[in-house]
Each structure stands twice: as structure tokens, then as C-alpha cells.
Amino acid sequence: MKIWVPSKAAADVLSDLPDVECVVYDGTGPLPEGAEEVEVWVPPLMPVAGVAGLLAGMSRLRLLQTVTAGVDAYRPYLPEGVVLCNARGVHDAGTAEWAVGAMIAVLREFPGFAAAQRAGEWTYHHTGVLADSTVLIVGHGSIGRALEARLEGFEVDVLRVARTARENVHGMDELPGLLPLADVVVLLVPSTPETTGMVDAGFLAAMKDGALLVNAARGGVVDTGALVAELRAGRLSAALDVTDPEPLPAGHPLWTAPGVFITPHVAGSTPASARRVLRLLRSQLLRHLAGEPLKNVITGPY
């Protein structure tokens, strides 16, 4: 069985499995030969260009296992009969940790103090703080739960929103009434047609004066122009690991908008994720080989 994997580490962790031939394709350089023989494809972390055409030619493909939680780069092009699985859980620790770090960085003004340090300036002043604030988690899945676990101890109130309401979790329809209550709004929703552009001028206008928007979801969830307008008005601040477009081109107005802290989609790019993804790949391949049900199969909305 031929498998394309995104790294030598992934090939190594599968090397003892019977009848498995791994070919490393990390997304750089030319595509390996023999796409039409591949049965399992684990695409690289960064989405591959021309994926629609590539998938259309992978006639023996049975399983597409992403190394990301988001499957938006592949889902629209999935051929009939191919099972799509995501890496749910793999990036929970890294992403939740990033979100807490980003909140604290912005509220405690670390980027400004870092700039002052480079200039050799002692800029004493009071800053914001996370304690006593209300954090609204929009998208309360596996990463949202990991974030909430990490927020315990920070003396915050947590509000939760998910697609469907459940105990202690509000439904999306309740979001407009919750936005004005939050000091920090954290976006963790998957990128779907429903969430694309969800954070528009109306969403942002409903946020409290001085509130912080944290985006660890996808850039396209936020209307960038509307966010830039709010940042320029000095009404909101933002911590963004994802942007639209991505990579954010030099000279884009978001780079220089006041009150924004940007990281280049790195929340899940850590050794913790690297370790977890190898464990997931091995367990998924063992299941696939044994004909057992796979984990993290994406069927309906995810």
C-alpha cells in the first residue's frame, strides 16, 4: 500500500507496518511520481497548491488524513469514496497555549514593552489584565476545552458558544447577546461556509469598547477590512495567528493597524503537536490496515 506522508518522521513511525510503502512529500519541490497509486495521503501542514487537480488524479485514494484540525483546504475537493479524517486533538495543547499567551501579551502590552526595550526606554505605566474579565470562547470543541482548562487559575469567567447548544454551552444563535458581555472573544470555529466572514462589522460593533479579539481559527472567519476599521478607531485590540490573506503581504494595512499583535499561523507548530501527530498517524494507519473504524472522520459539519 502506497502512502504519501509529509515528513521523514512520519515515514519512520510507520516503517514497521506490513505492506506499507511511504513516500515523503513535504509540499516543497516537485510532486512525487505515482499519485494514482496512493491509497493514503497525509498532506503537509501547509495546504498544497493545485489540490483539486491532484485529488482528481488520485484514483486509488481511500483515506486523506490531515495533520491539521481544519480540513477546509481539502474538504471541497474530496472525491467520492475517499474518507477524510482530521487531526482533532493534535493541536489542542499548542493552540490553547498560544491563545492564553496572546491574550496576556496584548493585555499586558508585551509587544510595546519589547519595542521599548529595543529602544532602551523605561516606559512605566499601568496595563490591562486578564484577571476578573469575561472570556467568550466561540467554537467550543476540543481546542476550546483545552483553552478553558488552561484558563482555570486566571480568575476569569468563561462563556462558551458552539454550533449547537448543550449544557453550559450556548448555541450560535445566542452569540449577539453574549458579545457585549465579553472582554476577550476567542475564535476557534472551523472554516465553513457558515463561519466565513462571520466576524463582520456588525459582530465587531457588538463587542465591548476596549475588548480583545483573538483569532486562532482561520483568517477568513474575520472580515479583515472591518477589523482594520475598528483597530484604527482604537475601539478594539486583536491577537491574530491567522489572517486573510495568508501569508499577510508586506504593506498590508493590518500589519500597521494600532493594537494588533500578529503571529504567522504558528499556534499549533510546536514539538507538542509534532509528537501527537505521529501518535495519531500510527494509530490511524493501524486501524486502516485492520479495517477498523477510523478516528476523527469528517462527515457532517465538523
Q: Mark whether 140 is an active-site residue.
A: no
- Among 2, 88, 91, 140, indicate the residue that binds ligand GLV (CB under 6 A): 91
Contact between 44 and ligand GLV per CB under 6 A:
no
The burial class, CB within 10 Å (0-12 / 13-18 / 19+), for 68 is buried
CA contacts within 13 A on the Cβ side of 82: 24
Rounded CA gap, 187 and 98, in Å? Answer: 13
Rounded CA gap, 266 and 270, in Å? Answer: 8
Q: Mark whether 265 is an active-site residue.
A: yes
Check 88, 265, 276, 288 and give the catalytic one: 265
CA contacts within 13 A on the Cβ side of 104: 11
Check 88, 218, 276, 288 and give the catalytic one: 218
- Among 5, 35, 65, 68, indicate the residue that binds ligand GLV (CB under 6 A): 68
Residues 6 or more apart whose CB falls under 8 angstroms from that of 109 comprise 127, 128
Q: What is the DSSP code string of 163-211?
A: SS-BTTBEEGGGHHHHGGG-SEEEE-----TTTTT-B-HHHHHHSPTT-
CB of 90 to ligand GLV, least distance (A): 7
CB of 140 to ligand GLV, least distance (A): 16
113 residue type, one letter: F
Cell of 50: 493545485
- Residue with grid cell 486523506, as numbered in its chain: 64
Question: Of 26-34, 46-54, 67-75, 159-167, which segment contacts ligand GLV by CB under 6 A?
Answer: 67-75
**237 versus 296: smaller Cβ distance to ligand GLV:** 296
Q: How many residues bind ligand GLV (CB under 6 A)?
A: 5
Contact between 268 and ligand GLV per CB under 6 A:
yes
**144 versus 268: smaller Cβ distance to ligand GLV:** 268
Contact between 70 and ligand GLV per CB under 6 A:
yes
Which residue number is nearest to ligand GLV in terms of Cβ? 70
Contact between 42 and ligand GLV per CB under 6 A:
no
Active-site annotation, residues: 218, 246, 265
Site residues (CB under 6 A) for ligand GLV?
68-70, 91, 268
